[in-house]
Amino acid sequence: MRRPAFYSRSPRAPQDAAEPRMPQASDDPTQGAAEPAAAAPARRWQPGRRSFALLLALCVGTAATGVGLWPRQNIRQYTQKDIDAAVLRTLQTATLPSPAAKAAEIIRPSVVRVVGYGPEKKTPEAETQKRGRNLAKGKSPEADEPPGEVERGVGTGVVIVDKGIILTNLHVVAGAEKIKVTFADGLEAPAVITGVQPENDLAVLQAQKLPDDLIPATMRSTADLQPGDQVVAVGFPFGIGPSVSAGVVSGLKRSFRSPEGRQELGNLIQFDAAANPGNSGGPLINMNGEVLGIVTAILNPTQQRTFIGIGFAVPIENAASAAGSPPF
């Protein structure tokens, strides 16, 4: 008998089919009674298709039983309460930057230090600024500047056009023989005055050298500004900075008269973020880092010129018009 091939898909011959045999002499009908046929050899078990199918079914059944008995892993369904707890835990354990810090980081690349050089002014304000600069440098308050370039005034400016157009206060650069600005990346460049708006104490500067990647500030209309809105003042008080102070809008459409009584400014934003000499010309921004105004003055009934809680800024609408930009 031919043994079927294992795993073969072709039909196999019936196991009980007799193999053909050659005719024997004893088969001659003329002979006498034939000898008893030899006993057929015992058949061996062969693993045919039926047996293989049975074995496969047994294996599959055993595997299915094992899977059914295997302990199932519980999949947790998270609820809103679980999510709220996770967020609260993160807020309690992670230190997040404050809104003021994020706003200051946005405006930082656009803020510049402005220094006017020339004959030293003898006004009380100039003397106060000089003492503050000396203290910041670790010098005696009354120390004189070395011969040569004398810092006539130190203030702040903000870049509003990437071509190097800078807004600052007129009193920071008025009378200066030379103006120098320092950008956020440390680049120092000479600058010239290209426009003034005396009624708002504003000056427009053009830097003569620019950083490779100068980022201008974004300006925001003050039409919807309200008392109580959070604001940040960024600048170089007494030449130190850039420094950041935070507060709120205290009032709108305020008026301010200079200590000498020579000029009165109107339509000002009143704020309580700390400002000191050197903050002049710097940006007053909202929590999105957008410029609302240019810091111009602080109210102080004494001659010390220190901050007592009331500062003023020119709305950006007026400041932008000084640079020839259309109003919002």
Whether pTM exceeds 0.85: no
CA distance linking residue 143 with residue 130, whole number of Å:
9
In this prediction, residue 118 carries a pLDDT of: 84
Q: pLDDT tens track of the chain, all 328 residues?
A: 444 433 334 444 444 444 445 555 445 544 444 444 444 455 554 555 555 566 566 665 665 555 455 555 567 788 998 888 988 888 788 888 899 999 999 999 999 999 999 877 666 666 766 776 676 667 777 777 665 567 778 999 999 999 999 999 999 998 899 999 999 999 999 999 999 999 899 999 999 999 999 999 999 999 999 999 999 999 999 889 899 999 999 999 999 887 655 678 999 999 999 999 899 999 999 999 999 999 999 887 666 667 888 999 999 998 878 777 666 5
Which residues have a Cβ under 8 Å from the Cβ of 169 and sit 6 or more positions away? Answer: 155, 201, 202, 203, 280, 281, 294, 295, 296
> To 5 degrees, how large is the angle CA 197–CA 215–CA 281?
30
In this prediction, residue 102 carries a pLDDT of: 96
**Which of these is catalytic: 110, 171, 243, 245?**
171
Identify whether 242 is preceded by a cis peptide bond (ω within 30 of 0): yes
Q: Count Cα neighbours of 130 within 13 Å in the Cβ-side half-sphere.
A: 20
**Which of these is catalytic: 110, 243, 245, 280?**
280
Active site residue 140: no
| Of the candidates 11, 281, 272, 312, the residue with the CA atom closest to the CA atom of residue 166 | 281
Domains of the chain with bracketed CATH: 103-207 (2.40.10.10), 230-322 (2.40.10.10)
Which residues have a Cβ under 8 Å from the Cβ of 119 and sit 6 or more positions away? Answer: 150, 152, 175, 177
- CA 122 vs. chain centroid, Å, equals 45
**Which of these is catalytic: 201, 243, 250, 272?**
201
Active site residue 280: yes
Convert the pLDDT of each residue in 128-154 to its tens digit.
Answer: 667 766 766 677 777 776 655 677 789
